[in-house]
Structure 1
Amino acid sequence: MAARINKKRSFLFVSKVLGKHIPVGPYTPLLSGAALALLLYLEMSADGADRSIMDKLMSQAVHGLIYPEFAEEAYHDLLDARLVLPQPVVFIGFAETATALGHSMYNMFAGGASYIHTTRENIPELESVVTFEEEHSHAVDHLCYALNPKLLSGTEPIVLVDDEITTGNTAINTIRDIQSKFPRQEYVVASLLDWRSAANIQAYRDLEQELGIRITALSLLQGSIKVTGTPLLKPQAESGEEPAALAELVTTYVRDGLERLQVTSADALGIVNLSPYLKYSGRFGLDSADNQRIDEGVSRVAGQLRDLREGSRTLVMGVGEFMYLPMRIAAEMGEGVSYQSSTRSPIHPERREDYGVHSAAAYPSAGDTEITNFIYNVDPGQYDDIFVLLERDVPRQRIEPMTDILQRLAANKVHLIVLTSEPETGGSRI
């Protein structure tokens, strides 16, 4: 656990399998989503599933999550199972921490699945199909930009994916909004952790009765917690020595062969970024037919970045909501690669063995300078090379606060990788 600098909720669980606040092997967070997919398959296909095969796969998944050196093998075995659900399902991953978790869960199914993740980005050209609040969060509004108007308009089950459930209120708010616009009979709430109290669980049952629906909760770990008092946040002295010299910064535009969406974004000050969005991030909706195209794009980028590696210790970073594709790319970049993402979640750092966050670096977000982003648990010299991947271009002066920090952390080079479908100017191109 760690102390959260948030009046609405003073703590959070720092996950070792999510790839957000702690650098992990990239197959570990991919496997966590795959394990949730297997739980869903068992829930929805109880009569048709070969129980012995499913039990073996689940045992492998749990083993791989506990022992990261086995995560890659377990992940590929689950992927090779080519699971197919008995009916179409729509997956929704919650921004920002569960965008990759939801995507990796959805990606386990060979057909009949659709995916979209919520976002907090303001895209003026698009209208959100659902909007809801995350009550305990420092950033409450969730938007959902579905390019396909039929994505949520059917009656198939919806699977809401979050990294943890504490009260369940976020899911309740989401279900209420979806049900008011796109009514259906069945919802599933999937998470790594489920800490709901008896009263919170009863709130789900009450909502079922009120709306005439069924809600199933799935999690890798379930329990109860009780938190009292407020954290004693003591100022922490900077630990570790400053590097003798800053690591070299190299900007590279990498063609991924994937389609772009010609829409813009506007930040809190009304400043517009005209750079197009990557269409296949999950923010605008996906279905199973898109997966092969994404796989090809991932392999194309990973091969190019693998050739840029110079050291044996590499960190690949996603930015904010853009987690899944960098995670997948990191998984194909060879041995000695760790993955994590920046986050907007404010956490108090403390160097203590039993504490989840030992270092923190804050900077204004490149997407919106009114929002503070953080990089956690990376020490100077811990990695030879750091690759930070952007799904769209941003003005250099807006990304510099982040790259300045990374240049003090990397031992050798910082690679700013801008994914693109077309040649760009301002950096090398591969």
Structure 2
Amino acid sequence: MAARINIKRSFLFVSKVLGKHIPVNPYTPLLSGAALGLLLYRELNAGAADAELLEPLMAQAVHGLLHPEAAQEAYQALAAAQLVLPEPVLFIGFAETATALGHSMYNIFAGNAAYIHTTREDIPELESVISFEEEHSHAVDHLCYALKPELLSGKEPVILVDDEITTGNTAINTIRDIHSKFPREEYVVASILDWRSGSNLDTYSQLEQELGIRIRSLCLLQGSIEVKGTPDLGSGGYTEPAAPAAEAPLITTYVQDGLERLKVCSKDSTGERNLAPYLKYSGRFGLVCQDNGELDRGVSSVAAQLSALREGAKALVMGVGEFMYLPMRIAAEMGAGVSYQSSTRSPIHPDRREDYGVHSAEPHPSAGDPGIMNYIYNIDPGQYDDIFVLIEREVPAGRIQPLTAILQRLARHKVHLIVLTPNLMEGGPAHEQA
């Protein structure tokens, strides 16, 4: 655990399988989502599920989560099973932490699945089809931009995916908003951790009775917690790690991924617009299983290009904020010695005690919005030979510099700023002041 710098909720479970606050084998967070998908497959198939197929896969998934060296084989076995759900379902991953978790849960299915993740991005040209608040968060508003509104307008079950359920209020707020616009009979709340206890255990059943719906819960780990008092955010045992002798050079590379773009802009808290297009099939705007092949090809192409840039035995691939899943998938295909994690906007107090979850913290203004502070956790200078940071679309050079400057102090050899682009003719700044 770690102390969250947030008066609404003072604690954070620092996950070893999520790929957010701790660098991990990239197959570990992919397997976390896939394992949740396997639980869903068993739940929706009820007695019709093939036990001879499911039991070995489940055992292999659990072994892979407990032993990171076995995560790749377990994940690939799940992906190769080509599971098809008995009925269409829609997965919704919660920003920012569960965008990749929801995507990897959805991605193991070969049919009858669609996916979209919520976002905190302000995209003026698009209208959010649902919106709700995450009451305990430092960033409460969630938006959801479905390119095809019919993605949410059917009667299929909605699978809400979050990394951790503590009270269940976020899921309840989401279900209320969806049901007021696109009513249906069934919802599933899936998470890595479910810590609901006491009166919180009754909130789903109360909502079921109120709305005439069914809510199922799935998780990899369930328990209860009790938090008393407030955290001591003094200096404690925290000491800054030793600085490197010299900064690593920064190499900016535009990498062609061949993926389709959506030509809409974003607006940040200062009113500045970024005209650089978004990845159409990142998950932010909606996906169906027929889109997965294009994403797979793009991932493999980028991974091959980045593998050729590696110089050392140990590399770190970083996503930024909500942009987690594609960098995670790319890292998984870059060979041995590659770890993955993402920057985050969650403020956490660092301390170097052995039993504490966050040993180092590097704050910096968000490249997408200078009014938002982001953080890199648990990376010490010289821990990695090469660091690759992937951004979904171009941002002004001055805005990315605080992030790259930190990474230059952390990398042993080189920092690679990777700007993804559909083709190499489309690289270049595209910004204007509103």
Question: How does the TM-score come out when normalised to structure 2?
Answer: 0.97
2:363 alignment counterpart? 362
**Cα distance between partner residues in 2 of 1:98 and 1:288:** 19
CA offsets 1:250-299 (integer angstroms, 9 cap, x no match):
00000100000000000001000010001111000000000000000000
Shift of 1:198: 2.8
Instruction: Assess if the C-alpha contact under 8 Å between 2:394 and 2:428 holds in 1.
Output: no
CA offsets 1:153-200 (integer angstroms, 9 cap, x no match):
000000000000000000000000000000000000000000001311
**Cα distance between partner residues in 2 of 1:421 and 1:75:** 28
Matched, 1:58 2:49: no
**Cα distance between partner residues in 1 of 2:46 and 2:56:** 15
**Mapping of 1:161-200 within 5 angstroms?**
161-200=161-200
Instruction: Assess if the C-alpha contact under 8 Å between 2:114 and 2:287 holds in 1.
Output: yes
**Mapping of 1:17-416 within 5 angstroms?**
17-235=17-235, 237-416=238-417
Letter of the structure 2 residue corresponding to residue 111 of structure 1: G
**Cα distance between partner residues in 2 of 1:49 and 1:213:** 24
Instruction: Assess if the C-alpha contact under 8 Å between 1:365 and 1:371 holds in 2.
Output: yes
Letter of the structure 1 residue corresponding to residue 9 of structure 2: R
Instruction: Assess if the C-alpha contact under 8 Å between 1:157 and 1:187 holds in 2.
Output: yes
Matched, 1:10 2:31: no
Letter of the structure 1 residue corresponding to residue 7 of structure 2: K
Shift of 1:234: 1.5
CA offsets 1:212-271 (integer angstroms, 9 cap, x no match):
000000000000000000001122654221111100100000010000000000000100
Shift of 1:426: 6.0
1:116 alignment partner, SS class: strand
**Cα distance between partner residues in 1 of 2:41 and 2:242:** 49
2:321 alignment partner, SS class: coil
Letter of the structure 2 residue corresponding to residue 402 of structure 1: L
1:88 alignment partner, SS class: strand
Shift of 1:50: 1.2
**Cα distance between partner residues in 2 of 1:56 and 1:352:** 38
Shift of 1:424: 4.3
Letter of the structure 1 residue corresponding to residue 404 of structure 2: T
Q: Select between 385-394 and 418-427 the one with higher mean Cα deviation.
A: 418-427
2:385 alignment partner, SS class: strand
CA offsets 1:122-172 (integer angstroms, 9 cap, x no match):
000000000000000000000000001100000000000000000000000
Shift of 1:51: 1.1
Shift of 1:13: 0.2
1:338 alignment partner, SS class: strand
Letter of the structure 2 residue corresponding to residue 322 of structure 1: F
Instruction: Assess if the C-alpha contact under 8 Å between 1:17 and 1:29 holds in 2.
Output: yes
**Cα distance between partner residues in 2 of 1:18 and 1:151:** 27
1:85 alignment partner, SS class: strand
Paired positions, count: 427
**Cα distance between partner residues in 1 of 2:78 and 2:249:** 39
1:45 alignment partner, SS class: helix
**Cα distance between partner residues in 2 of 1:425 and 1:278:** 14
Letter of the structure 2 residue corresponding to residue 370 of structure 1: G
**Cα distance between partner residues in 1 of 2:44 and 2:317:** 35
2:116 alignment partner, SS class: strand
1:124 alignment partner, SS class: coil
Instruction: Assess if the C-alpha contact under 8 Å between 2:239 and 2:352 holds in 1.
Output: no
Q: Mind listing any 5+ residue stretches in structure 2 that lack a counterpart? A: 430-434
**Cα distance between partner residues in 2 of 1:395 and 1:48:** 54
Runs of 4+ in 1 over 6 A off after TM superposition: none
**Cα distance between partner residues in 1 of 2:122 and 2:428:** 26
Letter of the structure 2 residue corresponding to residue 191 of structure 1: S
CA offsets 1:291-337 (integer angstroms, 9 cap, x no match):
00000000000000000000000000000000000000000000000
**Cα distance between partner residues in 1 of 2:77 and 2:365:** 40
- Counting aligned pairs with the same residue, the percent is 74
Instruction: Assess if the C-alpha contact under 8 Å between 1:253 and 1:424 holds in 2.
Output: no
Shift of 1:86: 0.4
Letter of the structure 2 residue corresponding to residue 240 of structure 1: P
Letter of the structure 2 residue corresponding to residue 221 of structure 1: L
**Cα distance between partner residues in 2 of 1:282 and 1:274:** 19
**Cα distance between partner residues in 1 of 2:203 and 2:313:** 50
Letter of the structure 2 residue corresponding to residue 2 of structure 1: A
